[in-house]
Structure 1
Amino acid sequence: MPHNHELKATIAQKYAAIEAYLDERGRRMWAAAESRAIGHGGDALVSDATGLSRPTIRKGRRELDSGGAEFGRIRRPGAGRPGIEQSQPGFRRALEQLVDPMTRGDRQSPLRWTCRSRRGLAAALTNAGWKVSAMTVGRSLHELGYRSQSVRKSHELTPHPNSHEQFEHINSKADSFLQRAQPVISVDTKKTELIGDFKLTGWEWQPKGRPEKSLSRDVPQDAAGKAIPYGIYDMSRYEAWVSVGLDHDTPAFAMASLRRCWEELSTSRYPGARELFITAAAGGGNGLRSPTWKQGLQHFADETGVRVHVSHFPPGTCKWNKIEHRLFCHITQHWRRKPLQVFETVVDLIGNPRTDAGRPVKAKLDKSKYPKQMTESDDELEAQSVRRDESSDDWNYELHPQ
């Protein structure tokens, strides 16, 4: 018979009112009585209304037909499999010694340097003489309070004792330059990316069952090259330039990128600029200890007549450089789903994102060669007009035109 929705709602209401007062036998016998009163189709209707399975209702009907079940125990004595600790005492202690050998005292655990999966733990326990399955291992781990978790990056390295003072110096100097309408830029190199049919993390909408395919392995030898994005971010106008290199991340490449950016900055943005403030990381092509970087800045100051001020972030704190969270994060989000098959794809994907203020990013491919090994003569090093701040651990310096 078709389901009667009003009758179903009535049964559900009755069951909700008495469920808390019924034990397992009482629930199935009550459901069987309701089903018998309904007649044909009663099992389906009562099952939908109460959530009890049809076999349970049929069992209750058999108990009603037999004249009533024996009262006392609801289930047969001795039913159910004994727990793992009852059948194999000491199992959980052995499991914990495998999972956490450093705190349990067993430094020679067979899984000390291997993957601690449920199957791996079950295999190790089986080899030790225990009769256990991967399902039992997983259930026991949950009962012991363990969960499968990844490593969380939370331990901060010990900061440099002068880190706080350096951050205050950078902030105050940047504010001073911005108030005087002098340019302040943040520079850094983004992570090098392999060019080719390599997988990048992320998701995008594709027809069902037809994901975009890539190589099964990321082998650098199979790459058509590598893309080295060097970014420059204008803190005043919230604009950005990215030069995509093909060779090496060197000070010469950093200076070439800075020169191309300055050609536009000096003509259209800051035509009367006499000073330039640069914030940079402590390593890479614009590294603190690189004499080639300082030599390039000296040549740049001589050519442009601009006094260059440079402040480096303390080691390990480059993530606080403005360009990291104002530009690079948007680039990463934009191209994380697309294989970077050709260099032009990298340039196009970099040019599509916008900065936090909605300004477009200007990207250009730099096909020049920048060898790693470049030495400076003693005369060139002595010609650098570098003025350092004695109290800043060489993190702040100026280069004046000569």
Structure 2
Amino acid sequence: MVLTDSLKKLLIETAYQLKGAAKRKFMAQAVQGLGLGGQRLAQSELGWNRDTIRKGIRELESGITCFDNMSAKGRYKAEEHLPNLLEDIKNIVDSQSQIDPSFKSQRLYTRLSAAEVRKQLIEKCGYSDENLHTSETIRVKLNNLGYKLRRVKKVQPQKKFPQTDAIFEQLDIVNMDASEDKSVLRLSMDGKARVKIGSFDRGGKSRDGTKADDHDYNPKTTVTPYGIFLPEEDELFLYFTESKVTSDFIVDILEDFWLEQKHRFSDIQTLLLNQDNGPQNSSRRTQFMKRIVEFAQKHQVNIRLAYYPPYHSKYNPIERTWAILENHWNGSILDEVETALKFASTMKWKGSHPVVKLVNKTYENGVKLTKKAMAQIEKQIERLTDSTHEVFPNLGNWFIDICCRKTKFI
């Protein structure tokens, strides 16, 4: 049988208008009418798939019709219909973000939603409203490309002091030396934000239908967690106080820790304290320096203070433990101090529970020494200065050595 142009056109258009089993039956009947070699001819001249033709012939000969489960196959991906869709979405999102009012960059003030991205695809990339997929599909594509909705991360420090890089370099040296020296025990210390005690929502989720007050006014009390973390041993010690966190409080919990744990560290001659240079434990805080010198002399252990630069305390290892604590007790009601302590004691860090204590002492804020008294303290400490270190000058506020025998040991 000869396939004329008009016949080929008729067969192609008829098959195109049919679907599923009806289409296969028509193709099978047409191929049978072509005679020997009909399948090959239909493939080459009409563009029909030979597997589809064979399936139609089997259905025709057996009298059994196969119904395709098309719904189980799912739909074609949007990018198969629109090959440039993903690249166009990336170009739109990458070029638009919030900037400062000084217009120092090319970015725009835009909060991009899926609907906004779809609108810009139509306006800027030439897509038509009829052919472009819905906003829900655009949202899925945004998520798949990594542009998921997430909170703004606090990763940029507010300020960078001129000595910041030098402080970090010196910190690396001090901390590395401590990890290699068996006579030095490194402690990471810092406090967490105050926690309101009451029937308040902490933003977490619960399976037991816990209900909280709709406002967090007038808490019963507040507690501040303060931690001592041992990076080399991955051990955590948490102290809670309803009082203010003062210089005396910080040294008191350090002393409590050392009295309880020093039997484990009989070879330790020096305690390296990693802290932020906050107002209560700064190396210029007279009461803190007085107490830490007294601690060294009383317990006959050298103290090395190594502070993180201002606005960079998040790099202190203790900071990593606070997120675990938050995730552990969020979704629960901390309506009593005892409840907060119980939750803290059941959290796990690296598979182990922390040691948790409540400090009941009330501390007075604002205690300080006279200039004359502080001058005597300065004689008992050694600051890292121009005269003691040539590579990192002017770091005396961040690196201090205190010898228990009142002799220099830098």
Q: 1:102 to 1:279 in 2, by over 3 A?
A: closer
Deviation of the 1:197 alpha carbon: 1.1
Unpaired runs of 5+ residues, structure 2, are: 1-12, 27-55, 60-64, 72-91, 117-132, 386-392
Mapped partners of 1:287, 1:46: distance in 2: 81
Query: Would you say 1:352 and 2:346 are equivalent positions?
Result: yes
**Other-structure match for 1:339:** 333
Mapped partners of 1:50, 1:117: distance in 2: 35
**Other-structure match for 2:174:** 170
Query: Would you say 1:265 and 2:258 are equivalent positions?
Result: no
**Other-structure match for 1:214:** 212
Query: Would you say 1:224 and 2:217 are equivalent positions?
Result: no
Q: 1:236 to 1:116 in 2, by over 3 A?
A: closer
**Other-structure match for 1:275:** 270
1:161 to 162, 165, 171: 165
**Other-structure match for 1:77:** none
The residue identity in structure 2 corresponding to 1:361 is P
Mapped partners of 2:374, 2:352: distance in 1: 39
The residue identity in structure 1 corresponding to 2:211 is K
**Other-structure match for 1:203:** 205
TM-score (norm 1): 0.60
Deviation of the 1:352 alpha carbon: 1.8
Which 10-residue stretch deviates more, 145-154 or 160-169? 145-154
> What pairs with 1:281-292 in structure 2 (closer than 5 Å)?
281-283=276-278, 285-292=280-287
The residue identity in structure 2 corresponding to 1:395 is W
The residue identity in structure 2 corresponding to 1:202 is G
Q: Tell me if the contact between 1:118 and 1:137 (Cα under 8 Å) persists in the aligned partners.
A: no
**Other-structure match for 1:319:** 314
Mapped partners of 1:186, 1:102: distance in 2: 36
> What pairs with 1:294-313 in structure 2 (closer than 5 Å)?
294-313=289-308
The residue identity in structure 2 corresponding to 1:179 is K
Indicate the RMSD between aligned Cα atoms, in angstroms.
4.4
> What pairs with 1:72-87 in structure 2 (closer than 5 Å)?
none
Q: 1:21 to 1:151 in 2, by over 3 A?
A: farther
SS at match of 1:175: helix
Please list the CA deviations of residues 168-188 of structure 1 after superposition, one character each: whole Å capped at 9, or x if unmatched: 223233224x423x3221111
**Other-structure match for 1:191:** 193
TM-score (norm 2): 0.59
Unpaired runs of 5+ residues, structure 1, are: 1-19, 38-44, 53-95, 121-135
Mapped partners of 1:242, 1:256: distance in 2: 13
**Other-structure match for 2:243:** 247
The residue identity in structure 1 corresponding to 2:171 is F
SS at match of 1:294: helix
Please list the CA deviations of residues 180-222 of structure 1 after superposition, one character each: whole Å capped at 9, or x if unmatched: 3x32211111222111111123334x2xxx51111122x3x42
Q: Tell me if the contact between 1:248 and 1:370 (Cα under 8 Å) persists in the aligned partners.
A: yes
SS at match of 1:375: coil
Mapped partners of 2:174, 2:313: distance in 1: 13
Any runs of at least 4 consecutive aligned residues in structure 1 with deviations exceeding 4 A, and if so which?
20-31, 49-52, 100-103, 112-120, 136-142, 145-148
Q: Tell me if the contact between 2:229 and 2:237 (Cα under 8 Å) persists in the aligned partners.
A: yes
% identity of equivalent residues: 17
Query: Would you say 1:374 and 2:367 are equivalent positions?
Result: yes
Deviation of the 1:324 alpha carbon: 2.3
Q: Tell me if the contact between 1:281 and 1:314 (Cα under 8 Å) persists in the aligned partners.
A: yes
Mapped partners of 1:113, 1:235: distance in 2: 42
